[in-house]
Amino acid sequence: MDRLVPGGGLIALEVALKAPERFRVLILLTATPRFVRVPDWPAATDADVLARFHDGLLADPTGTLERFLALQVMGSEAARDNLRTLRRELAHRPEPVPAALALGLDLLRDTDLRGRIGALACPTLWLFGRRDTLVPAATGEGIARGYRPPAAPSPPPPGDRRRRPRALPVSSAGNRRSNRGLPAGGPVLNPGPIDGSGNFW
């Protein structure tokens, strides 16, 4: 699958788990296998905050989306300019359907893929934003714990001069080092074998 999967990381994860043969690599931007906070998953959004946002979308969609945009730029050095840009871009798009937005929030509230991410068959790159207020960069640490260590590759047969495959190291969200030139800021996990050219897909 050589395309962007719109609609959120949870959808991309579910598709990759159910149809692994369609993926060569999976790159996730500020995605999480569980959006709502629980005792063993602290780097997430509080359930009460999500519930209030859900109710607000049904009662006052325009005002709730305006507050959501303000939340996105909180802490930015150019918050006012960024907010103006987001408002302009949103104004050029069709009016959202509140019921559809509410169903999307139900999906965020109820979905929990933490126990399944270790089964991802393709190389997966998770990227997080340092100032993200919805999916904190610390989410990467919990994701890293959900992966099984990669199995040791079988050695090539005698006389085979091909380079042996190896796995990339796992880096935490706070690790400033990059993996083989990939951008730092998110862990590279479940990488799978590297081919002879040094590429990981």
> pLDDT value at position 177?
38
> Looking at the DSSP assignment, which residues form a beta bridge with residue 126?
28
What sign does the CA torsion over 9, 36, 135, 92 have? Answer: positive
SS (H, E, C) 68-131: HHHHHCCCCCCHHHHHHHHHHHHHCCCCCCHHHHHHHHHHHHHCECCCCHHHCCCCEEEECCCC
Q: Which residue has the tokens 């999916």?
A: 135
> pLDDT value at position 201?
31
> pLDDT value at position 68?
83
> pLDDT value at position 63?
86
> pLDDT value at position 126?
92
As a whole number of angstroms, the distance between CA 184 and CA 201 comes to 18
> pLDDT value at position 28?
92
As a whole number of angstroms, the distance between CA 130 and CA 85 comes to 21
Low-confidence ranges of the chain (pLDDT < 50): 1, 5-6, 150, 163-188, 191-201
Residues 92-151: pLDDT tens digits?
A: 888 878 788 888 889 999 999 999 998 999 999 999 988 787 888 999 988 988 775 545
